[in-house]
Amino acid sequence: MTLLRVLRYDPERDEEPRFAKYEVVARKGLTVLDALLNIKDEVDGSLAVRYSCKSAICGSCAMTVNDQNRLACKTQLSTLGRTVRVEPLAGYSIVKDLVVDMRPFWEQMRRILPYFITKTPDPEKERLQTPEQRRVIDEATWCIFCGACSSSCPVMWTDERYVGPAAFVKAWRFVGDSRDEGAEERLDAINSEFGLWRCHTIFRCVDSCPKSINPTVAIESLRKGLIRRAFWRPFAKKEAPLVRVK
């Protein structure tokens, strides 16, 4: 038997959060999300959990399990010990139980203009990219927007205006892309007291990514871009990659 301690909190009814205890048989193949859904189906239908694909693709079920941010659908219960503590992502306000308000996360994502910007006339066919150019941004394209990295960052806990590691990774995904022409605007958006210079290289974001992305590589690449731009305007993206991503 595994003891599941799940944080329960309904801001409309409860004065403060509390841990509810459930006993679960951690049979092989049972994920943390499966266990939570079993509790919801068979014990207490009021338990609130956000999920969608159950395949580690949509990023909806990120939560803190035994002090580490993980995707509940990808985490095998049997690997976690006899007592498992499940909490909502830190740094965001709780909507109910394990569901948090991700609006600040999406707000920061919008700031870095997460879409292709092109200024030169459209080519006759597609904008081509060599395998070497694609490799520069490969890792940054794995992000599934789960928020696990941003939620693990102590800087974000103190100020939700901080852009955060997830948005930095997304910014690098475009700034480092040989086809994109919006580096100037994106670098402007993160060159602020709540942007790149607020990162204190605490590295918690690295340990928490369920897709094994290293956000600090993106952060260092963008910082080098800003420094380079300060000395050699305009930012010359056609040069060799600033930092190798893998």
Q: Which stretch binds ligand F3S (CB under 6 A): 16-24, 101-109, 134-142, 200-208?
A: 200-208
Nearest distance in Å: CB 158, ligand F3S: 11
Select the residue interacting with ligand F3S from 5, 161, 179, 204 (CB under 6 A): 204
According to DSSP, the residues that pair with 23 across neighbouring strands are 3
Task: Note whether 15 and 4 are within 8 A (CB).
Answer: no
CB of 77 to ligand F3S, least distance (A): 27
Question: Is 222 near ligand F3S (CB under 6 A)?
Answer: no
- Cα angle 9, 10, 13 (rounded to 5 degrees) comes to 125
Alpha-carbon span 28 to 31, nearest angstrom: 9
The contacts of residue 188 (CB under 8 Å, 6+ apart) are none
Strands 2-8 vs 83-87: parallel, antiparallel or unpaired? parallel
- By CB under 6 A, what part of segment 154-173 binds ligand F3S? 155, 165
Q: How far is the CB of 150 from ligand F3S (least distance, A)?
A: 8
What is the torsion angle, in degrees rounded to the nearest 10, for the CA atoms of residue 161, residue 154, residue 19 and residue 36? 80
Tokens representing 131 are 């395998």
> What Rg do the C-alpha atoms of the chain give, in angstroms?
20
- Per-residue contact string for residues 36-75; x = within reach of ligand F3S by CB under 6 A: ----------------------------------------
Which is nearer to ligand F3S, 86 or 209 (by Cβ)?
209
Q: How far is the CB of 28 from ligand F3S (least distance, A)?
A: 34
Instruction: State the CB neighbour count (10 A cutoff) for residue 93.
Output: 12
Using CA atoms, how far apart are residues 9 and 24, in angstroms rounded to an integer? Answer: 21
13: which 2 tokens? 């009814």
Q: Which of 125, 201, 233, 234 binds ligand F3S (CB under 6 A)?
A: 201
Of 115, 135, 121, nearest to 241 (Cα)? 135
Q: 168 or 174, CB closer to ligand F3S?
A: 168
Cβ 190 to ligand F3S shortest distance, Å: 12
Looking at residues 73 to 112 of the shown chain, list those that interact with ligand F3S (rule: CB under 6 A).
none
Residue closer to ligand F3S (CB basis): 77 or 217: 217
Q: Tell me the window of 104-112, 120-128, 185-193, 198-206 that interacts with ligand F3S (CB under 6 A).
A: 198-206
Tokens of 203: 């590295």
Residues that bind ligand F3S (CB under 6 A): 153, 155, 165, 199-205, 215-216
